[in-house]
Amino acid sequence: MALQPSNCSDPRPIYTDKKVIYEDVFKPEPVPVIHEIEVVKRIHHVPVPVHHVVVTRRVVHCGYDC
């Protein structure tokens, strides 16, 4: 079928099926990452010599027999 010339000044638009075009945009978003740390204080008991001096006294009589 041939197109006939129209007497109208402006032709009417012809619409086709709509196409959907996706434009993906990636936006950085901060995400908290938690690193748990447990500090364990370990107490080690180490024997250390502490010298104590025990003094005993006695009296001795010398010189002649009592």
Instruction: Give the integer Cα–Cα distance in Å for 47 and 28.
Output: 58
pLDDT above 70 (res 2): no
- Model confidence pLDDT, tens digit, residues 4-59: 665 667 888 899 999 999 999 999 999 999 999 999 999 999 999 999 999 999 99
Residue 34 has, within 13 A of its CA and on its CB side, a CA count of 2
pLDDT computed for residue 17 by the predictor: 95
pLDDT above 80 (res 65): no
Q: Where are the alpha helices (DSSP H) in 1-66?
A: none
Q: Which amino acid, residue 64?
A: Y
As a whole number of angstroms, the longest Cα–Cα distance in the chain is 165
